[in-house]
Structure 1
């Protein structure tokens, strides 16, 4: 009986190992691009924005009867006592706090409300990874940190031997229903030592809930 043989494309293997190396360095707090200029976009602090299905605690100083645990509805709104629904979806916690304070002031309910918001339960934050990855699947985004296309591909087992990593696409549905498609050159990211870039332009792309990532097949 003849032993089975397997062919592994050296280029794809090298790229997969490079991606894994970047991920490992990041996990250990090392900078894989120490000798390269660091982009401002890659360094900015992550600021969480509230999203539908998040459950938040709204506390109003000195007004315990107005404090509530509420879940953000599909339109990004929450219901609070004595005021109209307040839109907080897409806002940071600080922005949502100010929106609630404004609602109570404009409604002539409280003169100087002081609001505190805490996130009690995060909504599921999923992206889908399909195509030439080893384990196509939905991937959970971390609630309080950035997540890139490279991260998602690695979470899905890494690229296959026939993955075309120069043309990975990210399909995103915007709040107004418009669908936007980004093309990501993952090989270019490796060459640039960890910088996710879109075409056209030179802007770091961070994944958002609902994004669909597709890794196409490379023509042999």
Structure 2
């Protein structure tokens, strides 16, 4: 009899409103995100497992619930707002009395962030929680040695006519990373593209110890003296005059610019700023090389005769 009475009590309670158990809340540092098209939702209706299910938001931003005639607009709403909409519809259509609905986002696919260019691991991931530009670069493994002096952040924003426009922000790498400027560490909400262009190069050839192409990250600090330092200095037979080969004009014609290299090194002439893709050429002083070669031969000849070991060859 006690068992029968217990079962009857349960049957009576099933028709009454029962307060559901408290649901776990996400950490405070992960605020709720707006739902977007193609996101995957977990919709739970307490006490009605036939209505609880996993639903994919349509490309139009709508979802459909069983036994409910109309579709629900989900895109642009927060999960809590969608819970209230579903609960109101279930009550108005007399499917449930005072329903309790919980909506959680199982998978975000509407908030991609792409990081590409001169990064170690280009990738695309979904934005969730508090994300910044530094966080996105960290996920991509950081910048490569070929990275340029600025980062291009592309994001859409509503225009005056209501249509979305694409906005490109130019973020200086030196201020963002070296100087840790917080105003440049933009918050990311999804839909952004982070592009890191490779640095332009300056080419140094001729009589230097280490010819090559050198990355140009700061336009104001790429001078002849700096390029000589990067190329580890001049060789012994470099000329006093060097040349810069630069492409200019609409026809991309090559322009030759002579510079007083010896005077620049001696600080008797101002240093010359180089442009992207410039070629700095330091020619060989053939007359000086021949003179030094003759001196070496004479020294060798004198040393041989002084030791009495002169060898005559016919």
- TM-based fold match above 0.5: yes
Aligned position for 1:206:
188
- SS of structure 1 residue aligned to 2:144: coil
Q: Which runs of 5+ in 2 are unaligned?
A: 1-27, 201-215, 217-314
Aligned-residue offset at 1:78: 0.7
| 1:1-220 superposed matches below 5 A | 46-81=31-66, 82-105=68-91, 107=93, 109-110=95-96, 112-123=98-109, 126-135=112-121, 137-141=122-126, 143=128, 145-165=129-149, 167-173=150-156, 177-190=164-177, 193=180, 195=182, 197=184, 204-208=186-190, 210-219=191-200, 220=216
What value does the CA root-mean-square deviation take over the aligned residues?
Answer: 3.2
1:20-69: CA deviation from partner (whole Å, max 9, x where unpaired)? xxxxxxxxxxxxxxxxxxxxxxx975323323332222122343333232
- SS of structure 2 residue aligned to 1:117: strand
Structure 2: how far apart are the matches of 1:62 and 1:190? 53
Choose between structure 1 and 2 for higher RCO, CA contacts under 8 A separated by at least 6 residues.
Answer: 1
1:87-115: CA deviation from partner (whole Å, max 9, x where unpaired)? 12232221221222233355565553321
Shift in CA distance, 121/186, structure 1 to aligned 2, threshold 3 Å = same
Structure 1: how far apart are the matches of 2:175 and 2:93? 53
Structure 2: how far apart are the matches of 1:46 and 1:191? 29
Shift in CA distance, 45/66, structure 1 to aligned 2, threshold 3 Å = closer
- SS of structure 1 residue aligned to 2:50: helix
- Asked if structure 1 preserves the Cα contact closer than 8 Å seen for 2:148 and 2:197, the reply is yes
1:96-138: CA deviation from partner (whole Å, max 9, x where unpaired)? 2122223335556555332112333443754222222234x22
Aligned-residue offset at 1:151: 2.1
Of Structure 1 and Structure 2, the greater strand share is in 2
Q: Which runs of 5+ in 1 are unaligned?
A: 1-42, 199-203
Shift in CA distance, 163/101, structure 1 to aligned 2, threshold 3 Å = same
After TM superposition, the score normalised by the length of structure 2 is: 0.45
Structure 2: how far apart are the matches of 1:89 and 1:206? 19
Aligned-residue offset at 1:213: 0.9
After TM superposition, the score normalised by the length of structure 1 is: 0.61
